[in-house]
Structure 1
Amino acid sequence: MARVVHRVLVAVLAVCIGLSAVARGSEPAPLPTPQDGYFQTITRVVDGVWLIAQPQPFQVQPIGNVVVIEQSDGLVLIDGGGSPGAGRRIVELVRSVSGKPVKAVAITHWHGDHVLGLSAIVQAWPAAEIIATDITDAHLRGRSMKAYPKGAPDATLQAAFDQRLDGADGFVRDSLAKSDLSAREREGFEAAQRLFAQYRKDTRDVVLALPTRTFVDTLKLDDATRPVELRHFGRGNTDGDLVAWLPRQRVMATGDLLVAPIPFGFNAYPADWQRTLRAMQALRPAVWLPGHGAAMRGDAYVSRVIDLIGHTRGAVAPLVKQGVTLDEAKKRVDLSTDRARFVGDDPWLVRWFDRYWTQPFTDAAWREATGEPIEQGEG
């Protein structure tokens, strides 16, 4: 998820510009352990379709899932990973399941944890097309990703990126210094230090590869066995969300329209998101491949997300009618029942449910109810 580093720190994490636990001049932090579940692995979903995902689905510094689809003349990937380092590991994972070349990478949306690995993928397969909706293409070329060099590394932009990571480091250290953390929360922040140290390594020479092909509503990548329909059903998590539908296998790759265990609620379009998910449900997918998290059989989780969006909108709308300010609405909205459905009583996940969903999506629902625009991008 790459955007701003500091509107609030959690906004940075949720939209995935990333953090680092290594301040300049400090001792290097240890790197992730296997138990941290940071490094993605590849799993067969159905014949000819694989999911590349982090084994531990919730990470403070997430890396978006990648779907691998084998067609007769090559492979189609859905999304490209969150850093050059992640991209290189994705190349290795893809090659472990097929000797065919990657012929296309379809980008679900513009957030950095889904696109910053593209440079490594196109270096491995230079002929691969990069496909996006026209809206996402505009974000990647415009202000939303202005902090990232295009075409070749840029020392000035890299230094600015590193400086933002250095500034975010204090959040992790300050959190660990608190005496009221539960054992689970302390464990989470200690793991986060290791993950951010790896992320700093992975983002050396970061370069943003841009789309080479765009579409508005639908683009079909035909194949005798595994045809892929790339679709833009409407706004949701972003204004340009792409999904990939495999009609014969009844597999739906969703990008961040669907994320587990905690949905990402930043700068979203609440009513549109509900409509988009319902339109996707109407195709009756047998398997859902989310932007983060494991493959899902059936749509129970999808319905839960639709309900969560509706409950949040329903909690915010009456407050707007009462003239309540946004800051006050954020204090008064109670989603404890929904939160329990998603994360139970895990104090680490409770912390991030409130920061990744309750606070930012209350903002989105308040803006929707008041008619204020919801803006994508760094600002």
Structure 2
Amino acid sequence: MQSNDLVNTVRRDLIKRFFGITAAVAVGNVPLQVLAYQKDDFFVPDVTPIKISDHIYALYARGAWPTAENQGFFANIYLVDTSAGIVVLDTGTSVHIGRMAIRAIKQHFNKSVVAIFNSHYHGDHWLGNQAFKEAFPNAPIYAHPEAKTAIQNAIGDEWLHQMMNATSGAVKGTQVVAPTEGVEHNQLFEFGNVKLKVHSYGQAHSPVDIMIEIVNDKALYVGDIIMENRIGNPSETSFKGYISTLNEIDQNLKGYLLMPGHGKPGKTALLKSYQEIMNGIYENAVNGVEQGLSISETKDLALKDPRIKKHAQTTAGFEEFGKFVSVAYTQAELELF
């Protein structure tokens, strides 16, 4: 997908999801002050880094979705401790969350940040870039090259509006700071004694997903490609791409520690849960199309699948399961016909 097409597609999706079709013409003119949070204090309470492997620490988020109460801190931030300094994997939803992460780095490591990676262009994973660019102006911010372009070309502003709305303005004061460097699949980085490797297998959760392997620790930051007890909005999902990416992890990184953007890390069981969910949705969508079933009938078919039933009661986001089936059904139709 070309950069302009990607930007236009994402803009339409954001408008539909977060502002309503009738508000589309006004999105670009909505002043952030209209959504201003009622508190004057935007301080995000400190979070203690939790060691999860030899070189990796997690700053765990507070909740599955953005709210005023959690100030938009609903996506994890991971810190990789190297002899050259700290590498940050995603920066959170606001400048205030980013500053909280920087306080944690200074208090617990007393090191500079030498690099930042953004897993994709959804705002909860990069809107904290501003804080890091202010504190560590020479640290590069790496991402998929199309993510860099999209954030620069209006998508960044619209994600900021979205997060302002979702948190009742708790991210106020945040500015869009896009990634500075594009990365490629299999690109290798060395930060002192630690090696990192980029994995990018095409569209899965979003069109611009990257995953970061911490080679020394046999760990993989998966962003939103895998989540613990949560599924995200499927509007940008490629189900075939998703399944293919999960299979790549299964075949090439078996037994690795998988670090999700949402939820706690895990290994084989965490991967299997997402394989069951995505295969269960898409395979039933294919069956529905082949049998001439409606989307509603296909949804009922999928909900009877043991793989889906296993996770339906424990997975946040299943309340919009019909949307997942609808997207998968449409993709199955295109694939089959």
Query: 2:277·2:311 contact (CA, 8 Å) conserved in 1?
Result: no
Instruction: Tell me which residue corresponds to 1:273.
Output: 242
Check if 1:86 corresponds to 2:116: no
SS class of match (1:359):
helix
Instruction: Tell me which residue corresponds to 1:97.
Output: 108
Output aligned runs, 1:217-232, within 5 Å: 217-223=185-191, 225-232=193-200
Query: 1:133·1:242 contact (CA, 8 Å) conserved in 2?
Result: yes
Instruction: Tell me which residue corresponds to 2:287.
Output: 318
**Separation in 1 of the partners of 2:115 and 2:296?**
44
**Separation in 1 of the partners of 2:305 and 2:19?**
19
Partner letter of residue 305 of structure 1?
Y
Instruction: Tell me which residue corresponds to 1:59.
Output: 65
Check if 1:139 corresponds to 2:154: no
Q: What displacement does 1:5 show?
A: 5.6
**Separation in 2 of the partners of 1:335 and 1:113?**
33
**Structure 1 residues not aligned, in runs of 5+:** 12-22, 149-157, 169-195, 373-379
Partner letter of residue 278 of structure 1?
N
**Separation in 2 of the partners of 1:280 and 1:50?**
22
Query: 1:231·1:242 contact (CA, 8 Å) conserved in 2?
Result: yes
Instruction: Tell me which residue corresponds to 1:364.
Output: 327
Query: 1:75·1:101 contact (CA, 8 Å) conserved in 2?
Result: yes
Check if 1:7 corresponds to 2:16: yes
Partner letter of residue 150 of structure 2?
H
Q: What displacement does 1:225 show?
A: 2.6
Check if 1:286 corresponds to 2:256: yes
Deviates more, 1:221-230 or 1:327-336: 327-336
SS class of match (1:46):
coil
1:196-254 CA distance string (max 9 Å, x none): 35xx22x1122111121112323221145321112213321112211111122101111
Change (3 A) 1:230 1:125: same
Query: 1:69·1:77 contact (CA, 8 Å) conserved in 2?
Result: yes
Instruction: Tell me which residue corresponds to 1:308.
Output: 277
SS class of match (2:158):
coil
Check if 1:240 corresponds to 2:208: yes
Output aligned runs, 1:65-76, within 5 Å: 65-76=76-87
Query: 1:313·1:365 contact (CA, 8 Å) conserved in 2?
Result: yes
Higher relative contact order, chain-length normalized (CA < 8 Å, sep 6+): 1
Q: What displacement does 1:59 show?
A: 3.2
Instruction: Tell me which residue corresponds to 1:179.
Output: none
**Separation in 1 of the partners of 2:258 and 2:36?**
43
Instruction: Tell me which residue corresponds to 2:303.
Output: 334
Q: What displacement does 1:323 show?
A: 4.2
**Separation in 2 of the partners of 1:128 and 1:361?**
38
Change (3 A) 1:322 1:116: same
SS class of match (1:258):
coil
Poorly superposed stretches of 4+, deviation over 6 Å: 23-27
Q: What displacement does 1:361 show?
A: 1.9
Identity %: 17
Change (3 A) 1:48 1:364: same
**Structure 2 residues not aligned, in runs of 5+:** 1-9, 21-32, 68-72
SS class of match (2:93):
coil
Aligned residues: 305
SS class of match (1:142):
helix
**Separation in 2 of the partners of 1:218 and 1:74?**
22
User: Could you say what the CA RMSD is over the residues aligned between the two structures, in angstroms?
Assistant: 3.5
**Separation in 2 of the partners of 1:331 and 1:318?**
12
**Separation in 2 of the partners of 1:328 and 1:221?**
48
SS class of match (1:110):
coil
Change (3 A) 1:27 1:88: closer
- TM-score normalised to structure 2 length: 0.78
SS class of match (2:286):
helix
- TM-score normalised to structure 1 length: 0.70
Query: 2:84·2:192 contact (CA, 8 Å) conserved in 1?
Result: no
1:307-333 CA distance string (max 9 Å, x none): 111110122112223444546645664
SS class of match (2:52):
strand
**Separation in 2 of the partners of 1:254 and 1:43?**
18
**Separation in 1 of the partners of 2:298 and 2:309?**
20
Partner letter of residue 187 of structure 2?
L
1:44 to 40, 47, 51: 51
Query: 1:40·1:55 contact (CA, 8 Å) conserved in 2?
Result: no
